Amino acid sequence: MKAYKPKNRLSAQEYINGILNGDRVILSRAITIIESSLESDKKLAKKIIQGILPASGKSLRIGITGVPGVGKSTFIEAFGKFLIKNGHRVAILSIDPSSQRSKGSILGDKTRMEELSGMDEAYIRPSASGETLGGVANKTAESMLLCEAAGYDIILIETVGVGQSETAVHGMTDFFLLLMLAGAGDELQGIKKGIMEMADMVVINKADGDNIKQSDRARIQYQNALHLFPPAASGWTPVVTKASALKGMGIETIWEEILKFKKQVTESGYFEKNRNHQKLRWMYDNINEDLKQLFYGNPEISAQLIQLKKEVLDSHISPVEAAQLILNSFKKSL
C-alpha cells in the first residue's frame, strides 16, 4: 500500500525560493506543510526549514497575552497598523492548543482584524491545531522562522492568558506584553500565577470614557506591585502603561518603550544571549518531550504506572521506590 501523498505540493526549493522572495501564497502553503501530520509533509517541512534557517531570526518577536474580553484583537489591529505606518512588516501568529481548526481559533476569524488583514504588509495566521501544547508550540515557532525569512521584521505571537501556553510564547519571544483591564481584581481570576512575573510590560487596555480614572489607579497599583518583585534576568524593569486600542491611544508610547527595551538589551548583550538560550531550550524541550513519550507511551509502563500510582497514594510504597521500580522495568524492556 502506498502512503497517501497530497498532489499539489511543490519542491522544497520552490517553497524556499518563494518564501525568500516574500511570496505570501507560498508562505501560507509552506506553513500548511509544517502543520501537516503526513509523513511526506514532515520530510518536506524539514527541508524547507533547513533552507530558510540562515535567513531567519532578523525580527523583533513580541508575545502578547491577556484573557478573553481584554480586547486583544482590537489591540493587535491598532498596534499592527501603527507598526506598518512606521515602515514595518508584521506577521501575527498565535498559540492556542485548545483551538480546533474546524471550530475556528482565536485568530481564525480574520474579520476581527478587518483592516489589518487587508494590508500587504501584514500576514495573519491562526493557531495551529494539535493535541499537545509542545506540538502546537513547535509549529508556531517554525512558522515564525518562515515569516522572518519572508521579510516580516516584527512578529506578534498572541495567546490567551489562561494556561501554560504563555510560558511557550515567553520562551520564543524577545518581549512579553500582558494586556489587562482596570477593575476590582476580578479580571485576574483568569490569569494564571506566574504570568505577571514574565511580563516586560503591562498594558491597561480600554482606558477610555468612564474607565480613565480607574485605569490610572490600576496603572499605579500595578507599577508599585511590579517594583516589589525581583528584577528580570534582562535587567529591564517592567513598564505599566495604559491604552485605548479602540481609540488608538497609548500605542505610540508602547512602541517607544519596546524600542527602549530593545536598545537596552541589545547593548547589554542580553538580546543575543537570550536568543541563544531560547534556541537551546527549544532543542532540550523537544528532547525531553520525546524522551517522556518513549517512556510513558510504552504500554507495559503505562499499565504498571496505574498500579504504582494507587500504591503510592495508599502509602504502601514510597514515591522514590515506585520510580525506581518502573525505571527498572523500562530498562529491562529496552
Helix (H, G, I), strand (E, B) or coil at 266: helix
Q: Which is nearer to a copy of itself, 217 or 263 (CB)?
A: 217
Least distance between a copy of itself and beta carbon 284 (Å):
8
What cell numbers appear for 142 in the block? 517554525
Asked if 169 and 197 count as a contact pair (C-beta separation under 8 A), the reply is: no
Q: Which is nearer to a copy of itself, 7 or 332 (CB)?
A: 332
Looking at residue 189, the DSSP 8-state letter turns out to be G
- Integer Cα distance of 167 and 163 in angstroms: 8
Least distance between a copy of itself and beta carbon 237 (Å):
11
- Integer Cα distance of 67 and 59 in angstroms: 26
Q: Which is nearer to a copy of itself, 209 or 230 (CB)?
A: 230
Q: Which is nearer to a copy of itself, 54 or 118 (CB)?
A: 54
Q: Which is nearer to a copy of itself, 17 or 237 (CB)?
A: 237
Q: Which is nearer to a copy of itself, 56 or 253 (CB)?
A: 56
Least distance between a copy of itself and beta carbon 6 (Å):
22
Helix (H, G, I), strand (E, B) or coil at 315: coil
Least distance between a copy of itself and beta carbon 176 (Å):
13
Interface positions with a copy of itself (CB under 8 A):
46, 49-50, 53-54, 56-57, 138, 142, 145, 185, 188-189, 191-197, 221-222, 224-225, 227-232, 276, 279-280, 282-284, 286-288, 290-292, 294-295, 308-309, 312-313, 315-324, 326-327, 330-331, 334
Q: Which is nearer to a copy of itself, 255 or 295 (CB)?
A: 295
Looking at residue 246, the DSSP 8-state letter turns out to be T
Least distance between a copy of itself and beta carbon 268 (Å):
17
Q: Which is nearer to a copy of itself, 246 or 325 (CB)?
A: 325
- Integer Cα distance of 241 and 202 in angstroms: 6
Least distance between a copy of itself and beta carbon 39 (Å):
13
Least distance between a copy of itself and beta carbon 110 (Å):
28
Please, where are the H alpha helices in the chain? 12-20, 24-35, 39-52, 72-85, 114-117, 133-149, 165-170, 195-198, 212-227, 251-268, 270-296, 299-313, 319-333
- Integer Cα distance of 299 and 123 in angstroms: 43
Looking at residue 20, the DSSP 8-state letter turns out to be H
Dihedral angle at the C-alpha atoms of 262, 263, 269, 274, nearest 10 degrees?
A: 0
By C-alpha distance, which of 289, 243, 318, 24 is closest to 134? 289
Least distance between a copy of itself and beta carbon 255 (Å):
26
Q: Are strands 201-205 and 60-66 parallel, antiparallel or unpaired?
A: unpaired
